[in-house]
Amino acid sequence: MKTKTMVALVTPILLLIATFSQAADPVGMNPELRNKAKRAVDAGLHYLRGQQAEDGSWSNSVGVTALGLRAFLQSHRGYDETDGAFITKPIEFMLAHINEDGSISETNQNRNYNTAVCMTALAATGNEEYEEALNGARNFLINLQIDEGDGYESEHAYYGGIGYGGDERPDLSNAYMALEGLQASATDPDDPVWEKALLFVSRSQNRSESNDQEWAGNDGGFTYMPGYSPNGGTASYGGMTAAGLLSLLFAGVDKEDPRIQAAYDWIRSNYTLEQNPGSDGGTQGLYYYYNVFAKSMAAYGADTLVDAQDNEHNWRNDLAEKLLSLQNDDGSWVNPDSPRWWEGNKELVTAWSVIALNAALK
């Protein structure tokens, strides 16, 4: 039976965002810009409605479908399953791809990614009927985490990490998405998965005071995985630093913890929405950056940021203005300069953009 107020599947990350965002009311978003951002969300959702397949999916992908569904569920329109097939069919599509191991995916290669975003979407429905699916997905992600059962001791750089779900090395992007799914599905905060994950997350940060790896620098930002970033060497960059900050918050680390403050200072000091700061050419992973930046700032509770030049920025206004300027006439978004990591896929990038605006509008 459907219930919008159920306790078991209340999504802690949404509550976290809402709690921190209450403090944002005195500053908030410019009222005129807020209205424009809402219309941009509506246009993006209209585009997604038009691209939805008969089976309810987007791009015939479990992961993209989950993100598209989340964009609707968390929008200012407050869509839910009573609104019709454009909400219920994506859910059916995801549930039809539950595997025996609890993962939710149509492919073996991206099982963590797909399962994690499905968990966040299913939890956002507030429907207790999906508790069994969430429990299975939770167990899958926990079992996927690298630990002693895989022959790794806690001293190893990969310990506590999570990869795509095949034989790939773990990385911070997949770890952050897994932690988001675990947090959204009300995973016990005392479960060892969090403590193990904190080791991996901390070892992906350029902060030698809390990172026991020899390569670690001290700018406070995050790398893609311990000792490696795709932009070369071990340089910090925007998308992973926002993901690292958010991962620390998911795992229950206090906001005043030096690791969180160092990550926030990196974002503040490298503040820009013109590019994914620190990435190769600035365009790679740009919309991924917008998505995780918005969620991390909302969860952190920052209304404004002061950059390295002592300029104050209202991030909600800045993000809304930037995404409005990049939206296509058909309501979609896409990265024309760097299709890497699926950013040439309009349905994925539109879902990410709407989710980012939804976070800014909270």
151 falls within a domain: yes
Mean per-residue pLDDT, 65-93: 98
pLDDT of residue 24 exceeding 80 = no
- pLDDT bin (cut points 50, 70, 90) of residue 109 is confident
**Cα(158)–Cα(201) distance, integer angstroms:** 10
Mean per-residue pLDDT, 80-109: 97
168 falls within a domain: yes
Mean per-residue pLDDT, 148-177: 92
Domain of residue 278, residue span: 12-361
262 falls within a domain: yes
Beta bridge partners of 188: none
61 falls within a domain: yes
pLDDT of residue 12 exceeding 60 = no
pTM metric for this prediction: 0.91
Listed range (25-39, 147-161, 331-345) with the worst mean pLDDT: 25-39
pLDDT for the residue numbered 231: 76
* CA torsion angle 243 17 127 101 (round to 10): 20
When comparing pLDDT for 167 and 196, which is higher? 196
Listed range (13-22, 148-157, 280-289, 296-305) with the worst mean pLDDT: 13-22
Longest dimension (CA), the chain: 56
3 falls within a domain: no
pLDDT of residue 309 exceeding 60 = yes
Mean per-residue pLDDT, 99-114: 94
Number of structural domains the chain divides into: 1
CATH of the domain at 270: 1.50.10.20
- Summarize pLDDT for 251-276 with one digit per residue, the tens: 999 999 999 999 999 999 999 999 99
Mean per-residue pLDDT, 65-91: 98
pLDDT of residue 13 exceeding 50 = no
DSSP string, 161-217: ---SSSSPPP-HHHHHHHHHHHHHTT--TTSHHHHHHHHHHHTTBS-TTT--STT--
pLDDT for the residue numbered 166: 65
- pLDDT bin (cut points 50, 70, 90) of residue 27 is low
217 falls within a domain: yes
233 falls within a domain: yes
7 falls within a domain: no
